[in-house]
Structure 1
Amino acid sequence: MNQRTARRSLVVAAAIAALAYLQPARARAGDAEACFTASEEGQRLRDDGHLRDARARFIACGAVACPALVRSDCAGWLSDVTARVPTLILSAQDEQGQDVADVQVTLDGAPLAARLDGKAVEVDPGEHVLRFERAGSAPVALRLVVREGEKLRRVSARLARPATARAGATTPGGGPIAPREDQAASPPASSLLLPIALGGVAAAGGVAYAALGLSARADADRLRTTCAPRCAEADVDAVRTKVIAANVAFGVGVAALGGAVAALLLRDSMPAAPAAAAVHVVPLPGGAAAALGARF
């Protein structure tokens, strides 16, 4: 090998060595850039409420190949986002109230669960529409608002067979009838208005009964010690009126209390329409009778 050939061999070896050194550096630079990109995307997705996608980005930028500073930040963000991701436990029952598992569920039109297995599923916070579908049953849509950090929230749907009379039915415009949409919330708060109102009536009746009864007793004692048995008829009538009023208040309070208890026991089955209640008082000789009427 002459001197010229030896020099050329040295140049080629140096070039190969330089490429071998620069290639890992380029790879490291590319990995670092991907880490920074994942970090930025994760923060943006988190702020927009897309917590599940944000968590995937934070997992990526927390990899060992990422710079230590980025890994540290992403690890903290990952822990925070994981705690904030809501979870739901989905279930469905047939017409007899029996649990069914062969149900498909979509979230805002996207697949969420191919089968109900009792395990919690993760969703992003916000307003969503869950659609439950099962062969032979009418689909059910539930509209609900999911909150950040809400864990193991139970959402259940009651599936029923489509009514024969509605098979092939259409809207006045000619389109198919949309599936029924239920609410995933608890019984409406309006169902508590009746028991609360009746409870207030019962409390007021009790207060009135106590006040009138004590006043009537005080007046009667005063008459016994001052003028009995020759007291003025007007004074006696005044005491008698207070006694009657106390009895009326007592009857109203008892009736209202009973109605409040009944309304609380039945509120789960009460419709959302407002309920109306009325207390009827009928004066009787020596007292009064009270009747409670309610329309559910």
Structure 2
Amino acid sequence: MTRQLVTIVAAVLALSSNAYAQLSKEACVDAHSRGQDAREQGKLSLARKLFLTCAQSSCPAAVQGDCARFADDLTNLQPTIVFVARDASGNDLPATTVYVDGALVATSIDGKPHDIDPGNHVVKFSNGDSDEVITLVIGSGEKGRTVLAKFSAINPPSTPDAAQTVTSRPAKPAARKVQHPKGALALAVSGGIVAIGGGALAFYGRSQVPEACDLSTHQCAAPPGAPVFDDAASAANKVNIGLIAGGVGVAALAGGLVWYYAGAKTDKESPTQQSVAPWVNGNGAGVAVLGRF
């Protein structure tokens, strides 16, 4: 009876072993086929996992060889990205959750690369109540690409209070005082007046020359002793006096102006200086403000 029971158990185990081996072969072939489909669709992560499954030693040799080669090829083509999250001050935020295309990828950021398929992706970083969404395009074979999210609302840099802000103003330069010679301006004004008066006198004298006389030749077309000779002499004297006075006035005007500007001196005004010094005597103590003007 015991011998018959052992024989039955052994037969059942043998049948179960053959059935498992048959299912394993089917799983290998299925993984081989599905892996190729996923690779053609650009789903490199899924294809690589399937090829690693059918590359096991339990799979048929032909299937195992193909899957191992395909897995190696996809290792080189598989893009990877590295997640980085920082606050407004530039500090890292490791306690940040990351979603790629709506699927949870990481519950924290540790600096390790993550596999991702080529193409367009939407990456969402979540930290507390703040979310940052980044859209990116990943190329085939791109390794270690950094995806950075900056949370500007977390830990913003402090700004100085308006009441505590001190505005530095440049020191006002000392004023310059220009001193002109006192008599220069009077000389220039007097010279101008004399020049104008002399010119007017010369013009008036020229108008008083009789028509019968020529001032340039000092001759008159009249008989000797005629009154025109006296009139012409008087007019000539006025012209000469006016010309001399005008020349003196012009010289005085020019000299006064030259003296006024050439003799000017520039002095710097001494700025007001103040100092504070403590004082102590037998009657008490205090602070004295000393100034110099």
Give TM class, smaller chain: 0.3 to 0.5
> Which has more radius of gyration?
2
**Structure (1/2) with the larger helix percentage:** 1
TM-score (norm 2): 0.48
